[in-house]
């Protein structure tokens, strides 16, 4: 399948020869209880490398060359595995069972009420107290070749964090010589359940933690978004972005309208923390977003199969998160793009369904393509 990707790759990111991408497995660090955490590093001929650790099937680092060929890590995170548990904020994590929010931690399925932990004010967020980001995933396979690939899996017990059904999940990361990092989640269930898996990477394409993302140019292929209430739960409306600070159909600097307090939605989200309705047919891989950092020249183009994508600008990072190299992460230091069904879909009959039945296969695919010029 061809993806609609704009722009030519810079010479420094072009692939020369027929070098195969490589996947290398090794130790990463260990948790305070002695549990060993492994990592797999995927590397291509252009010098892009992605390190995925088994705790949370987490994208721990992503090295990408800039327009001068200098490689930097463009995702936020920590240097050790234990920090991801001690100071959790979902950096690079595989999030589930239900990414994003469920109102009041409650939903009904086939007439039965389910109650979840409320870990975000009155609501349930990102799978509860111990979601998939805090679980150890099994490394099933590691392969080099045209696509360097790692497959990780996790089995979530029936009733875990309040969700019904035993869930078998895989996360497959692959990197090719076209500078595409692909991530695909698949799942099956033993009982009817609700499911929304995503990746929660925080991107700063400058690769420089001293520079925020307010000068980044963002495009979102979405004519509508879902407004929220004061607790960030969707009201049920699909609102046109036209004429509002939420219109990124053409490239805009993140910082141009993020403090426009005349818009109540900006006040509720402390900036951008909203689900966009991605143009085109859900289930098909299609363009969703573009981020460009004018200083480094790096561009990331994202295609998704999901119906929506959460655009979040790290509004709740408050300077108390000390990440890689003991750098303090602050509000506006990153951009998250989280593809999935809409927040609180189990409680909105007219939203894309989050229901998964036995015999069905859940798939959520996202592709990140990098260039620099």
CB-based burial label for 279 (10 Å; 0-12, 13-18, 19+): middle
pLDDT in tens, 166-221: 999 999 999 999 999 999 999 999 999 999 999 999 999 999 766 899 999 999 99
87 assigned to active site? no
338 assigned to active site? yes
Q: Rounded to 5 degrees, what are φ and ψ at 244?
A: -125, 170
Q: How remote is the C-alpha of 299 from its chain's centroid?
A: 17
Question: Of residues 200, 221, 274, 348, which has the active-site annotation?
Answer: 200
Q: What is the pLDDT of residue 6?
A: 36
Distance CA 290, CA 344 (A): 26
**363 three-class SS:** strand
Distance CA 97, CA 130 (A): 10
More confident residue, 271 or 2: 271
Question: Of residues 160, 161, 338, 348, which has the active-site annotation?
Answer: 338
* DSSP string across 30-97: E-TTS-EEEEEEEE-TTS-EEEEETBTTEEEEEEEE-TTS-EEE-B---SSHHHHHHS-S-TTEEE-S
User: How many C-beta atoms lie closer than 10 Å to residue 17's C-beta?
Assistant: 7
Instruction: Using the predicted structure, report yes or no on whether residue 370 has a pLDDT greater than 70.
Output: yes
**pTM across the whole model:** 0.94
Distance CA 367, CA 287 (A): 9
């Amino acid at each position: 399948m061809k993806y609609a990707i704009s722009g030519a790759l810079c010479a420094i990111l072009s692939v020369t020869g027929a070098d195969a991408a490589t996947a290398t497995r090794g130790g990463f660090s260990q948790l305070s209880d002695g549990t060993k955490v492994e990592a797999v590093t995927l590397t291509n001929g252009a010098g892009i490398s992605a390190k995925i650790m088994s705790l949370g099937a987490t994208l721990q680092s992503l090295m990408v060359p800039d327009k001068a060929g200098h490689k930097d890590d463009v995702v936020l995170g920590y240097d050790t595995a234990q920090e991801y548990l001690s100071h959790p904020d979902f950096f690079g994590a595989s999030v589930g069972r239900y990414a994003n929010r469920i109102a009041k931690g409650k939903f009904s399925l086939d007439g039965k009420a389910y109650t979840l932990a409320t870990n975000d004010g009155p609501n349930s967020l990102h799978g509860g107290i111990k979601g998939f980001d805090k679980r150890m995933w099994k490394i099933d396979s590691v392969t080099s070749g045209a696509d360097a690939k790692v497959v990780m899996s996790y089995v979530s017990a029936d009733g875990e964090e309040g969700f019904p059904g035993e869930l078998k999940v895989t996360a497959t990361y692959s990197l090719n010589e076209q500078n595409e990092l692909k991530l695909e989640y698949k799942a099956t269930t033993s009982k009817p359940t609700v499911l929304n898996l995503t990746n929660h990477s925080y991107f700063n394409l400058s690769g420089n933690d001293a520079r925020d993302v307010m000068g980044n140019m963002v495009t979102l292929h979405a004519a509508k978004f879902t407004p929220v209430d004061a607790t960030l739960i969707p009201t049920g409306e699909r609102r046109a972005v036209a004429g509002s600070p939420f219109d990124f159909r053409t490239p805009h600097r993140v910082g141009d309208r993020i403090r426009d307090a005349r818009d109540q939605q900006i006040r509720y989200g402390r900036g951008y923390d909203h689900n966009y309705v991605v143009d085109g047919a859900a289930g098909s891989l299609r363009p969703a977003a573009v981020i460009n950092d004018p200083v480094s020249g790096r561009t990331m183009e994202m295609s998704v199969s999901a119906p929506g994508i959460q655009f979040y600008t790290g509004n709740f990072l408050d300077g108390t998160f000390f990440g890689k190299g003991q750098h303090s992460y602050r509000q506006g230091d990153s951009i998250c793009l989280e593809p999935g069904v809409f927040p609180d879909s189990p409680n909105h009959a007219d939203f894309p369904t989050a229901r998964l039945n036995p015999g069905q296969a859940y798939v959520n695919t996202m592709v990140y393509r990098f260039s620099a010029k």
